[in-house]
Homo-oligomer: A and B are copies of this chain.
Amino acid sequence: MATIKDVAAEAGVSVATVSRVLNGKGYVHEETLMRVREAIEKLNYSPNEVARSLFKRESKLVGLLLPDITNPFFPELARGVEDELQKQGFRLLFGNSDEDPEKEKAYIDTFLQNQVVGLISATQAFSQLNDERPAIPTVLLDRTHEGSYTVYADGIEGGRIVARELVNRGSHNITVLKGPGHIQPVQDRFLGAVEVLASSNVNFQVIQMASLTYEEAEQRAKELFSQYPDTDGIFASNDITAAAVLHEALRIGKSIPDDVQIIGFDDIPMSRLLFPALSTIRQPVYEMGQQAAQLLLKLIKKEQVIEQNIQLPVSFIERNTTRKVKRNG
């Protein structure tokens, strides 16, 4: 690899001059400029970003921390972040933490050691790092935390919508599969749903889940149908859970949506491919990633940010696990 010295020698100038043309700052004679450009071309030179980072004390890297890219909710998020950062020449250092605080810390440490200019985290553990938060711009994504910059979808409203739709479409006996309480956005969905259910004229019960994995959901779904056989409406907290519930319902011979309506949350790509296609709440995931990246970019450039917390709207996606609503009575 050619260095700036090689280019300087080739062009017959000093390294300072080469650096000037590289960065387009300071005076450089037109002719010198040409010579340097030719030398760069000839040697196929491109500057060493590491040396640059060292001097500047910041890189063109951003750290992205996710719980698990394998969870179908996250690839779109990551893509939104990446597409937005990439435009500005930033690159992504990326890690899956599995919500394990140890791993989390290890990643953050090495990210910082690599002098990332910013951090985006969609992990719960991260948002709980009260003390010792990294001193660089940080945006929480799909998580919230007092005093942090955050981008998230309106989970409360999402939960309300689910409850309303279930009720409006005729469910009277609703079971909510409640996700782990320590995950804020999941908690919000639950709260929103309960708020509406409590003020509606329906029965409802809650089954607490320790995780939102397919495996646990399969188990809970069995319990659900044996414990509450009269359930005619289910809020599944996320689409993966909903998929498991849907499968179990079909397996035991329920007719969907006639016997039981099911609504998920997230609108991950597979939801439309389920059978029956899953009615769900759509979060604008890709856009959330983009917004987080844009917010981070502003923080990095120390531009003024108007909103510290960006909340994006959710919407109901009607598919075939809910009944058609009757119009005009």
Once A50-B50, A69-B79, A70-B79 are accepted as A-B contacts, the answer to whether A110 and B91 lie under 8 Å apart by CB is yes
Q: Would you call A127 an interface residue if the criterion is a C-beta within 8 Å of the partner chain's C-beta atoms?
A: no
Which of B46, B82, B115 meets A113, CB within 8 Å?
B46
Chain B residues whose CB sits within 8 angstroms of the CB of A93 once the complex forms: 61, 91-94
Question: A73–B72 Cα gap in the complex (Å)?
Answer: 11
Produce 1/0 per residue, A75-112, CB < 8 A to B: 11011001100100101111110000001000101111
Q: Output the least CB separation between A101 and chain B (Å).
A: 15
Chain B residues whose CB sits within 8 angstroms of the CB of A53 once the complex forms: 50
Q: Output the least CB separation between A55 and chain B (Å).
A: 10
- The stretch among A18-26, A168-176, A201-209, A266-274 that forms the contact with chain B is A266-274
How many protomers of this protein does the assembly include? 2
Write the chain B residue with the least CB distance to A83. Answer: B96
Q: Would you call A114 an interface residue if the criterion is a C-beta within 8 Å of the partner chain's C-beta atoms?
A: yes
Please state if B70 and A75 are interface contacts (CB–CB under 8 Å).
yes
Please state if A72 and B273 are interface contacts (CB–CB under 8 Å).
no
Interface residues on A, range: 35 or more
Chain B residues whose CB sits within 8 angstroms of the CB of A72 once the complex forms: 72, 75, 269-270
Chain B residues whose CB sits within 8 angstroms of the CB of A74 once the complex forms: 75
Produce 1/0 per residue, A304-318, CB < 8 A to B: 000000000000000
Q: Would you call A193 an interface residue if the criterion is a C-beta within 8 Å of the partner chain's C-beta atoms?
A: no
Q: Would you call A47 an interface residue if the criterion is a C-beta within 8 Å of the partner chain's C-beta atoms?
A: yes
Write the chain B residue with the least CB distance to A86. Answer: B95
Chain B residues whose CB sits within 8 angstroms of the CB of A82 once the complex forms: 69, 94-96
Q: Would you call A128 an interface residue if the criterion is a C-beta within 8 Å of the partner chain's C-beta atoms?
A: no
Question: A92–B92 Cα gap in the complex (Å)?
Answer: 8
Q: Output the least CB separation between A269 and chain B (Å).
A: 7
Question: A48–B275 Cα gap in the complex (Å)?
Answer: 52
Q: Would you call A243 an interface residue if the criterion is a C-beta within 8 Å of the partner chain's C-beta atoms?
A: yes
Q: Output the least CB separation between A93 and chain B (Å).
A: 6
Please state if B50 and A59 are interface contacts (CB–CB under 8 Å).
yes
Question: A276–B50 Cα gap in the complex (Å)?
Answer: 52
Which of B113, B243, B269 meets A48, CB within 8 Å?
B113
Which of B49, B68, B83, B250 meets A114, CB within 8 Å?
B49
Once A50-B54, A68-B79 are accepted as A-B contacts, the answer to whether A114 and B96 lie under 8 Å apart by CB is no
Q: Would you call A252 an interface residue if the criterion is a C-beta within 8 Å of the partner chain's C-beta atoms?
A: no
Chain B residues whose CB sits within 8 angstroms of the CB of A49 once the complex forms: 110, 113-115
Q: Would you call A51 an interface residue if the criterion is a C-beta within 8 Å of the partner chain's C-beta atoms?
A: yes
Q: Would you call A247 an interface residue if the criterion is a C-beta within 8 Å of the partner chain's C-beta atoms?
A: yes
Chain B residues whose CB sits within 8 angstroms of the CB of A79 once the complex forms: 68-70, 96
Besides A48-B113, A48-B115, A83-B96, 5 other CB < 8 A contacts? A48-B54, A49-B110, A54-B54, A72-B75, A75-B75
26 example contacts (A-B, Cβ-Cβ < 8 A) are as follows A46-B109, A46-B112, A47-B113, A48-B54, A49-B114, A49-B115, A50-B113, A54-B54, A69-B75, A69-B78, A70-B76, A70-B269, A72-B269, A74-B75, A79-B96, A82-B96, A86-B103, A89-B110, A91-B107, A91-B114, A92-B93, A93-B94, A94-B94, A270-B273, A274-B275, A275-B275
